[in-house]
Amino acid sequence: MVAAGRPKMGEEKLIIRSEKVRFIDILSLLFLRRPLTSYAFVDAGDQTVLDAGNTPGDIFVALTEIIQKALAAAYWPARIIGAAIEILLNFFALNGGLLGIIWNIFRCRLVIPLNREAPNFRTMIGMIDGRTELKPAPPQMAAGDIRQLQVLDVVVSGEIADLESGCRRAAEAEPLVLRQYLVLEVTAMAAKLAYENAAYIENVVKNVWKFNFVGFFNGWNKYLNLDGTQAFVITDKAEDANVVILAFRGTEPFNMQDWSTDVNLSWIGMGRMGFVHAGFLKALGLQEEDGKSIERAFPKDVPNGATPAGKHLAYYQLRDTLREELKKHPNARLVVTGHSLGGALAVVFPALLALYDEKDVVGRIGAVQTFGQPRVGNETFVNFFKAEVEAKQNGTVPVPFHRVVYRYDIVPRVPFDLAKLAEFRHGGTCVYYDGWYDGKVLAGDAPNPNYFDPRFVLSMYGNAIGDLVKGAFLWAKAGKDYREGAVSLLYRASGLLVPGLASHSPRDYVNSVRLGRIEPKQV
């Protein structure tokens, strides 16, 4: 990958066609040490070939392709088994358990949850953590307890959040405290809620949160030939809102295509925006895998005939919706959030807005808050985002971009960071939670950045055991809202097989926001 500021001489892209990778290619990557760009399954731009030179595909490239093969093989079994599990769990939940099923059979009122779009149907994520109510701001805020809000310097209202002095003036500071609270509590809950269907989300937003539901959106992905990108938009009030919130859906547990996207090493050059993960660009509306012409790859406006009739590209549909909402609510700030894959889209989306100088939207961003987010681009992208999104808000203070990472969550550690080939970097401020939600603001990346460092094996398995124990007994310390059911505990047990997998649960990210305390920045 080209260093920041280096002149662009030609096409810049590295597309790995995993479906073309053979077993013998994986052996070659491990033992023959041929230049990666020389393989038939690699589509590299001319400039990329020059930059990479003789850099061989190392063990992380081979490991990525082994993972991709495993995910491809598991696609249909996971989809079928996942659908069956979710229907079975909803069957028990909607009928009130085994005794409820027997009673409903007797009454001829048995509920058969075959409609996955029903407002009472929950996904696996919703079964792991069924909480929907927003937790009120802690009472200690009024007493001046700083906690996370001051440490993170959350900015939504266009001025530095001084929680301590604001809380001393509780009545006057109410809008400011509200905005800070929305950034932390609502983003975590919205990122979790985004996994559910449109009717479920609308019901929770309107009837539980008492917010204004703007819409649920499906984005067309021409490379997958389906609506593969989901997001929703809400405001805290129907009139004169303080905040407009955009939440992207993340990596679905049984969708192997989502997991494959997270791990994929492919990237595309996007000019001054830097190199961006190809899969995340495709999710938002990429038209051509072209590392030379941004206009062909991702046009400023939606091209004619880009989608089948009735379908929409996520970037353009969401951009236009946000334009209208921000025009309707002149005092509101935009907050963008997402968990996992949704977190990646929550970063790439504002960057595209900035690339095309969409000041009416990007200029109103108040915060970008992601949870368990994978890497999305190279150092040039990180610097572009910092200069064009975080630092340019109509002359106001910088926009906070916080990446929340829990323990050894596997997803923030992919795609792997590989010298000269796929130099993926994280941006923003890393807020790292460990133990009983002990938080640290890190100056760099989270520990074990490429996940497979053998020095962390014992610690990772120790964390998995600790989380399983914590999940079983946290309610005794924190209260009934933190009692976990069998589904959540079984999911935590998966961390004993693949450490870091269970740490990706949105449940722990919600708990981190609600229970965590953060120490000063660590060097």
Which residues are catalytic, by number? 340, 409, 504
The answer to whether the Cα torsion of 268, 274, 277, 280 is positive or negative is negative
Q: 495-499 contacts: CB < 8 A, separation 24 or more? A: 495/463, 495/464, 495/467, 495/468, 496/461, 496/464, 496/465, 496/468, 498/410, 499/408, 499/457, 499/460, 499/461, 499/463, 499/464
CA 463 vs CA 285, 437, 468: distances in Å: 38, 12, 9
DSSP 301: S
Cβ atoms of 245 and 190 within 8 Å: the answer is yes
Which of these, 235, 78, 25, 207, lies nearest to 133 by C-alpha position? 207
β-strands 333-339, 243-248 pairing: parallel
Distance CA 67, CA 313 (A): 29
Cβ atoms of 507 and 340 within 8 Å: the answer is no
Helix axes 341-355, 256-263, angle to 10 degrees: 60
Three-state SS annotation for 428-495: CEEEEEECCCEEEEECCCCCCCCCCCHHHHHHHHHHHHHHHHHHHHHHHHHCHHHCCCHHHHHHHHHH
Distance CA 498, CA 316 (A): 38
Helix/strand/coil percent split, the chain, to 5: 50, 15, 35
Angle at alpha carbon of residue 504, lines to 509 and 378, rounded to 5°: 100
Two tokens, residue 69: 């093969």
Distance CA 415, CA 413 (A): 6
Angle at alpha carbon of residue 59, lines to 55 and 64, rounded to 5°: 105
Angle at alpha carbon of residue 425, lines to 389 and 187, rounded to 5°: 50
Distance CA 482, CA 60 (A): 38
Query: Is cis: bond before 454, omega within 30 of 0?
Result: no
